[in-house]
């Protein structure tokens, strides 16, 4: 797919347009040389994810996940660049987008709250694809209510000891390190008393106890911490400020989830237009049928609606002072819900072919569903938007 016309919108600068054009060329080349062509036998999901990390690292795209001081492409994390990359990668392959996104989310707490030593050790390796990152926040009883986490961090003779379980951890089982959030004050409630820790995957006491299979396959696991000893130097940021660090990290990458959803929706619209222009029907083609044109019109409107909110939020985060929680939540809610509708319509327009395994729209139908849940379910986004809207009203 060619360079994106919507990059002419005023949210973007020349470097964003150049980045999209370069990645458009790269994804076209990748389409001619898929990962499978480099392997003697079919790749497992883990192998494919690792291969995407290597390919993205070699292309220089993972450098946008970390600041320039630690091997990155830009002085600071740029939400618009992250969104440009995720939208384009999602249009090409959902696992490519996933591999890119997890490098940024998994290392984001190090970028925002890590010591110079932690950054120096891990961020250059994230940027080259040499190390795979993971973000370990969710637990069996702490998903949408992230403040309910129970993983316990207690002081030990050598630093800290972690005990408990994390689940739904993306890159679980293939990551080289985990940014782990644990309750370091036993009697604390909610977001108080939570600290963040950098835990290498080979730390004794840390184990992968279950690999989780989902409708759109990607590395996902449950982690168990059993008397897992880590040094004082593993603390990310200040003790007791881990929840705030997690929320700051999510504020950056939540907008990029909206961009990935927009990429999925844009690919679905492309597939639907292509199909409608070729499918013979009633003496002409499907695209000449008024009902099909109306459906395509709704799809195009929904794609641009989600994209406008997405890039407004990314621009806000890059250029305006203060947190962007409300606009980020609007973007994630709108883009993911609208993308679900767009892709559903694309499947419908394809008819029986649309549900055949291996068709692009069938894959997109599986890819989009999780985006309405992870990094804050749609219901949570609605609560955030309402809360932020009330705050703004009361300030006025």
Using CB atoms within 10 Å of the CB of residue 66, give its burial: 0 to 12 exposed, 13 to 18 middle, 19+ buried: buried
The string of DSSP letters for 104-156 reads: HHHHHHHHHH--HHHHHHHHHHHHHTSS-EEEE--BTTBSS-GGG---EEEE-
How many angstroms from the chain centroid is the CA of residue 57? 17
CB-based contact 287:330 (threshold 8 Å):
no
CB-based contact 396:368 (threshold 8 Å):
no
Torsion 99-102-107-111 (CA) sign:
positive
HEC secondary structure over 292-314:
HHHHHHHHHHHHHHHHHHHHHHH
CB-based contact 345:272 (threshold 8 Å):
yes
Task: Using DSSP, state whether 50 is helix, strand or coil.
Answer: helix
Identify whether 375 is a catalytic site residue: yes
Separation of alpha carbons 166 and 221, rounded Å: 8
Pairing of strands 177-183, 133-136: parallel
Task: Using DSSP, state whether 238 is helix, strand or coil.
Answer: coil
Pairing of strands 235-236, 194-200: antiparallel
Please identify which of the residues 87, 362, 375, 388 carries the catalytic annotation.
375
CB-based contact 59:103 (threshold 8 Å):
no
DSSP single-letter state for residue 358: T
Q: What letters, b where the CB count within 10 A reaches 16 and e where it falls short, cover 295-321?
A: bbeebbebbbebbbbbbbbbbbbbeee
Separation of alpha carbons 206 and 306, rounded Å: 40
Using CB atoms within 10 Å of the CB of residue 358, give its burial: 0 to 12 exposed, 13 to 18 middle, 19+ buried: exposed
Positions marked catalytic: 375
């Amino acid at each position: 797919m060619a360079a994106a016309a919507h990059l002419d919108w005023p949210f973007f600068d020349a470097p964003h347009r150049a980045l999209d054009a370069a990645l458009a060329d790269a994804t076209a080349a990748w389409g001619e040389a898929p990962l499978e062509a480099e392997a003697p036998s079919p790749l497992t999901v883990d192998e494919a994810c690792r291969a995407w990390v290597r390919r993205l690292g070699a292309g220089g795209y993972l450098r946008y996940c970390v600041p320039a001081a630690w091997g990155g492409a830009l002085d600071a994390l740029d939400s618009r660049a992250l969104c440009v990359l995720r939208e384009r990668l999602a249009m090409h392959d959902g696992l490519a987008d996933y591999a890119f996104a997890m490098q940024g989310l998994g290392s984001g707490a190090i970028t925002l709250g890590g010591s110079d030593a932690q950054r120096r050790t891990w961020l250059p390796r994230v940027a080259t694809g040499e190390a795979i990152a993971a973000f370990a926040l969710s637990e069996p009883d702490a998903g949408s209510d992230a403040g309910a986490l129970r993983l316990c961090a207690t002081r030990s003779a050598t630093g800290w000891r972690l005990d408990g379980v994390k689940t739904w951890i993306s890159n679980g089982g293939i990551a080289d390190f985990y940014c782990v959030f644990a309750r370091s004050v036993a009697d604390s409630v909610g977001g108080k008393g939570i600290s963040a820790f950098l835990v290498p995957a080979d730390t004794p006491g840390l184990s992968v106890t279950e690999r989780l299979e989902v409708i759109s396959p990607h590395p996902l696991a449950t982690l168990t911490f059993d008397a897992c000893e880590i040094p004082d130097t593993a603390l990310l940021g200040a003790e007791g400020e881990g929840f705030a660090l997690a929320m700051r990290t999510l504020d950056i990458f939540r907008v990029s989830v909206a961009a990935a959803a927009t990429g999925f929706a844009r690919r679905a619209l492309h597939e639907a237009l292509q199909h409608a222009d070729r499918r013979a029907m009633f003496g002409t083609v499907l695209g000449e049928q008024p009902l099909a044109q109306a459906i395509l019109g709704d799809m195009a409107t929904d794609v641009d609606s989600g994209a406008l909110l997405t890039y407004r939020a990314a621009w806000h985060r890059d250029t305006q002072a203060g947190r962007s929680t409300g606009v980020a939540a609007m973007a994630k809610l709108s883009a993911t819900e609208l993308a679900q509708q767009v892709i559903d319509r694309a499947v419908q327009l394809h008819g029986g072919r649309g549900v055949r395994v291996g068709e692009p729209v069938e894959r997109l139908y599986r890819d989009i569903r999780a985006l309405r849940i992870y990094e804050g379910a749609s219901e949570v986004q609605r609560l955030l938007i309402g809360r932020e809207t009330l705050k703004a009203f009361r300030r006025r």
